[in-house]
C-alpha cells in the first residue's frame, strides 16, 4: 500500500467512524460557515482576480451572460433594504457537498449584511416531489424572497408559479423552472460558467493523456441545464482539440451516488479505458472508488466542482488529476444582490454568471481560497506533502 492510498484510507476510516452510515469516500463538507470576504460597510459587490475572465455559457433562454462582477448594491441601497425588514427562504436541490455549503455561507452572510432574515433552508435530496412540498411549506411562512435550484424544471414549475403569483421574488441558481418568464415570474438566474468548466476538465484530460486514448463520460441523465452544458463542453472540446482521444462509452446517473456503479461497468467492459470524465465531484468520488477496486491507479479522472475528496486526490497526485471549478461563494453573493435589486425595484439582468477556474495540483491551494474564501483544509495540505 503506497503512502498516498494509506493516507486516503486513513481519512476515510476516521470520518466513517465519526459518521454512521457514511457512503463510500464521503468525507463530508470541510467548508464551514464564514462571513470572510464581505465588507461590513460600503457597497456589496464581487471582486476577484479572475472576475474579468471570458464567460462562455449561455443562459437557459439563450441569453448572453452578464458577469457577476457588474452587480452592486451601494451602502444607501443596503440601508433601504434593511428598513423593509424582509425575509428569505433558500430552497435547495440538495445540500450534500462543499459547493452548496459555500453558496449557503455567502447567502447567509450577504442577507445578514442586508438585514434580510432567513426563515427556512430546505434540502430536497434531489427529489422533485419533496421540493414541491418544501416550496408549499415555505410559502406558508410568507417569505419576500426565495432563492432556489429546481430539481426538475417541469414537475416543480407549478409550485414556483404559485410562489410568483404570491408576489415572492424568485432568484434561481443554475436552472429555471419550465414556463417561468424572467422579469415577470422570476428575477434572474445565477450560475457558474458551466460550459467553461466542462472545457477546463477536457483540457486537463487531454494534457494528462498526452492527446490520445479511450475515455468514458459519466453524465447526468436528467433535464438539468447546467450539467448538460458541462457535458456538451467537455465532449466538444475533446473532439475539437484532442481528435486522437475517443469517447468510447457514456453512462448516465440519476443520483449523485450512482457514479461508482456506472464507472465500474465502464471499467469492466472497457479494460483498456484510459480516462473517465464525471459530471461533478460526487459522482467522480464514485468513479474513484471503482478505479481503486479495479486496481486502475493509472486511470485519469477529471470532473467539475472543487470538493474536499477530489482535492485530496489532486493534492496527492492521485487518479483525479484536475477539474473545472465554479465560484460558489461569489455566486451566492450575486444571488443576494439580485434579490436586493428586486426588493428595490431595480432592473436585473436575466442571466448572471461567474467565470470558470481550471484546477490542478499546481494551483490547488490558491484555487480553494478563491472558490471558498477560506484556506485549504489542513488534511489537503498534508496530502500534498506525501
Lowest mean pLDDT among 19-33, 170-184, 355-369: 19-33
**Do 256 and 138 fall into the same domain?**
no
Predicted local distance difference test score (pLDDT) of residue 61:
85
- Let me know if residue 368 belongs to a domain: yes
Shared domain for 52 and 181, answered yes or no, is yes
172 and 224 fall within a common domain: no
Count of domains in the chain? 2
Asked if residue 97 and residue 84 are part of one domain, the reply reads yes
- 281 with 305: CB under 8 angstroms? yes
Q: With a cut of 50, say whether residue 157 has pLDDT above it.
A: yes
Beta strand spans in the chain (E): 44-45, 66-67, 72-73, 87-92, 117-123, 145-148, 169-173, 188-192, 213-220, 245-253, 275-278, 300-304, 320-325, 351-354, 357-359
Is the same domain home to 135 and 260? no
The CA distances from residue 98 to 8, 23, 37, 175, 371, in Å, are 18, 16, 17, 19, 10
Q: Over range 317-334, report the average pLDDT.
A: 96
- Band (346; pLDDT cuts 50, 70, 90): very high
pLDDT of residue 99: 81
pLDDT, position 37? 56
C-alpha 36/C-alpha 347 separation (Å) is 28
Please report the pLDDT score of residue 130 as a whole number: 97
**Per DSSP, what are the bridge partners of residue 89?**
120, 146
For the stretch 96-121, pLDDT in tens is 778 889 999 999 999 999 999 999 99
pLDDT of the residue at 376? 93
| Statement to judge: residues 211 and 273 lie in one domain | yes
Q: Name residue, grid cell 500500500.
A: 1
Query: What does the pLDDT average to over 206-235?
Result: 95
For residue 230, pLDDT beyond 90: yes
In a shared domain, residues 222 and 299: yes
pLDDT band for position 240 (50/70/90)?
very high
- Considering the domain architecture, whether residues 156 and 112 belong to the same structural domain is answered as yes
Check pLDDT > 70 for residue 82. yes
In a domain, 11, yes or no: no
pLDDT at residue number 14? 34
Report how far apart, in Å, the C-alpha atoms of 94 and of each of 103, 130, 160, 283, 332 are: 12, 11, 17, 14, 15
Residue 290: CB atoms within 10 Å: 24
Mean pLDDT, residues 154-159 taken together: 96
Indicate whether 177 and 253 sit together in one domain. no
Please give the pLDDT value at position 25. 30
Listed residue (181, 172, 93) closest to 131, CA to CA: 93
Beta strands in 221-313 (DSSP E): 245-253, 275-278, 300-304
The Cα 197–Cα 203 span in angstroms is 10
Residues 139 and 239 in one domain: no
In a domain, 28, yes or no: no
Could you tell me if residue 160 is inside a domain?
A: yes
Residue 26, domain member (yes or no): no
- Taking residues 199-225, report their average pLDDT: 95
Asked if 73 and 167 sit in the same domain, the reply is: yes
Query: Range of 289's domain?
Result: 194-325+360-385
Residue 8 counted as domain residue = no
CB 268 within 8 A of CB 261: no
Mean per-residue pLDDT over the chain, rounded: 89
Q: In terms of pLDDT, which residue wins out, 13 or 367? A: 367
Residue 303 included in any domain: yes
Give the confidence band of 215 by pLDDT, cuts at 50, 70, 90.
very high
Helix (H, G, I), strand (E, B) or coil at 124: coil
Q: Is residue 256 included in any domain, yes or no?
A: yes
Q: 349 versus 18: which is more confidently predicted?
A: 349
| Predicted local distance difference test score (pLDDT) of residue 31 | 52
**Structure confidence at residue 336 (pLDDT):** 98
Q: Is the pLDDT score of 19 beyond 90?
A: no
**Which pLDDT does position 60 carry in this prediction?**
85
Quick one: average pLDDT of 163-170? 98
Tens digits of residue pLDDT in 261-291: 999 999 999 999 999 999 999 999 999 999 9
Over 70: is that where the pLDDT of 36 sits? no
Q: What is the CATH number of the domain that holds 184?
A: 3.40.50.2300
Would the pLDDT of 241 be above 50?
A: yes
Residue 256 and residue 377 share a domain: yes
Confidence check: pLDDT of 7 > 50: no
Amino acid at each position: 500500500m503506497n503512502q498516498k492510498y494509506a493516507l486516503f484510507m486513513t481519512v476515510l476510516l476516521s470520518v466513517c467512524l465519526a459518521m454512521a452510515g457514511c457512503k463510500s469516500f464521503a468525507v463530508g463538507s470541510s467548508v464551514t460557515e464564514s462571513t470572510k470576504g464581505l465588507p461590513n460597510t460600503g457597497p456589496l459587490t464581487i471582486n476577484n482576480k479572475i472576475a474579468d475572465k471570458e464567460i462562455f455559457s449561455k443562459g437557459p433562454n439563450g441569453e448572453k451572460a452578464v458577469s457577476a462582477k457588474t452587480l452592486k448594491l451601494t451602502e444607501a441601497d443596503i440601508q433601504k433594504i434593511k428598513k423593509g425588514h424582509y425575509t428569505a427562504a433558500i430552497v435547495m436541490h440538495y445540500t450534500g457537498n462543499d459547493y452548496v455549503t459555500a453558496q449557503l455561507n455567502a447567502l447567509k452572510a450577504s442577507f445578514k449584511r442586508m438585514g434580510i432574515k432567513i426563515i427556512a433552508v430546505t434540502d430536497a435530496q434531489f427529489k422533485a416531489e419533496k421540493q414541491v412540498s418544501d416550496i408549499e411549506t415555505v410559502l406558508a411562512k410568507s417569505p419576500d424572497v426565495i432563492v432556489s435550484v429546481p430539481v426538475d424544471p417541469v414537475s416543480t414549475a407549478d409550485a414556483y408559479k404559485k410562489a410568483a403569483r404570491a408576489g415572492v421574488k424568485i432568484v434561481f441558481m443554475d436552472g429555471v423552472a419550465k414556463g417561468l418568464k424572467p422579469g415577470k415570474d422570476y428575477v434572474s438566474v445565477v450560475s457558474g460558467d458551466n460550459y467553461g468548466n466542462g472545457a477546463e476538465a477536457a483540457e486537463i484530460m487531454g494534457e494528462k493523456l498526452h492527446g490520445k486514448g479511450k475515455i468514458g463520460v459519466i453524465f447526468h441523465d436528467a433535464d438539468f441545464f447546467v450539467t448538460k452544458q458541462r457535458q456538451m463542453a467537455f465532449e466538444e472540446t475533446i473532439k475539437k482539440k484532442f481528435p486522437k482521444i475517443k469517447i468510447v462509452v457514456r453512462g448516465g446517473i440519476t443520483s449523485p451516488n450512482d457514479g461508482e456503479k456506472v464507472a465500474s461497468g465502464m471499467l469492466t467492459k472497457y479494460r483498456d479505458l484510459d480516462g473517465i470524465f464525471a459530471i461533478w465531484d460526487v459522482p467522480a468520488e464514485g468513479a474513484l472508488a471503482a478505479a481503486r477496486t479495479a486496481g486502475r491507479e493509472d486511470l485519469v479522472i477529471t470532473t467539475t466542482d472543487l470538493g474536499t475528496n477530489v482535492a485530496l486526490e489532486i493534492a496527492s497526485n492521485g487518479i483525479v488529476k484536475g477539474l473545472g471549478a465554479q465560484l460558489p461563494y461569489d455566486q451566492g453573493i450575486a444571488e443576494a444582490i439580485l434579490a436586493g435589486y428586486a426588493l428595490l425595484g431595480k432592473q436585473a439582468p436575466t442571466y448572471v454568471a461567474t467565470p470558470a477556474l481550471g484546477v490542478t495540483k499546481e494551483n490547488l491551494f490558491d484555487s480553494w481560497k478563491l472558490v471558498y474564501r477560506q484556506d485549504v483544509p489542513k488534511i489537503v495540505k498534508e496530502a500534498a506533502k506525501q
